[in-house]
Amino acid sequence: MPGRFAGKQALVLGVANRRSIAWAIANRLHEEGAELAFTFQGERIEKTVRELAASVDAKLVTECDVRSDEDVARVFAETAGAFGGGLDILVHSVAYAAAEDLEGRFTDTPRDRFWMALDVSAYSLVACARAAEPLMEARGGGSIVTMTYLGGERAVPHYNVMGVAKASLDASVKYLAWDLGQKSIRVNAISAGPVRTLAARSIAGFTTMEEIFELRSPLHRHIEADDCGGAAAYLLSDDAKNVTGTTLYVDAGYHAMGM
């Protein structure tokens, strides 16, 4: 029986290794029939991404610096070439802040690193959605999913400038959903609880965050990357054809608690 994504073509940004949420999403898409393309950032993770991409018969693996409009344009041109001019799915799992800005006080964030965090973590979604728009329009519509976190809604110690970037990302999801909805392109976000990814290890006090999360969440359990993979598969599929501008919480109910 064909999967939900049979005949669908997906571009995935943000895979770093097997523990990445982006990889869990990509793997789920592959299992349900999607053709995949991947980007990577820098030589340090290129080998890993290429090996993972080969394991799912990816059509394209290419480097992308999301801070460069020229690079984003090139990547989507290559994607169009690999997929015959169209694109159905965009997975945006890209975020960055300097490690020192995730340790001390938010107040001390310097101007240049503040804008860098917002550029990489929030504006990149806008740039990629703009580049994806004509490719998705050529396919009669499409779906975009990005990754956010509760730190964009509430102050989380040590999350600092990344929380401000996620707040901007959350607002961008809503505005993009409005702009692109007329072309049947949906834009949603997943807000995950603490997941042990490469990026999470750079957050000071991450282990403490996990302990508090397990104690206070209604389900009293940790979140795995695969949990996000399943949630993303729903949002990206036709099962969610009337869901857009929405944040789906995959956090064992933690966001619902007041203390």
Counting Cα atoms < 13 Å in the Cβ hemisphere of 236 gives 35
How far, in whole angstroms, is CA 72 from its chain's centroid?
A: 16
Instruction: Please say whether the beta carbons of 87 and 9 come within 8 A.
Output: yes
Tokens of 130: 């703009």
Single-letter residue type at 170: D
Query: For residue 190, which of 128, 152, 145 has the smallest C-alpha distance?
Result: 145
Closest by alpha carbon to 193, among 257, 116, 251? 251
Contact 132, 89 (CB under 8 A): no
Question: What is the torsional sign of CA 217, 247, 61, 63?
Answer: negative
Question: Which among 149, 234, 249, 254 is annotated as catalytic?
Answer: 149
Q: Token pair for residue 123?
A: 């504006």
Question: Which secondary-structure segment (H or E) carries 40?
Answer: strand 35-40
Does 249 qualify as catalytic in the annotation? no
159 as an active site residue: the answer is yes
Select which of 159, 175, 249, 254 is catalytic: 159
Written in H, E and C, the secondary structure of 3-39 is CCCCCCEEEEECCCCCCCHHHHHHHHHHHCCCEEEEE
Q: How many CB atoms lie within 10 A of CB 208?
A: 12
What is the C-alpha to C-alpha distance for residues 132 and 240, in angstroms, rounded to an integer? 19
* Active site amino acids: 149, 159
